[in-house]
Structure 1
């Protein structure tokens, strides 16, 4: 199976909560921090 990365290839630095109007994808695509770094590993 070929791996596909749907998220942006950037260094994430935003530990804040989602803003009103952010989609789930936008929220997950910009998260950073120890807790969120475990997601998907």
Structure 2
């Protein structure tokens, strides 16, 4: 595996982790909004 391929792999992993984090934060926000309405 070349350095460039390794970097690409790392970048894809990071992107996937960040996407999951953003989704999680988004869901947390929605939960907060629901609690505030009641």
TM-score relative to the length of structure 2: 0.24
| More helix per residue | 2
TM-score relative to the length of structure 1: 0.23
Structure exhibiting the larger radius of gyration computed from Cα positions? 2
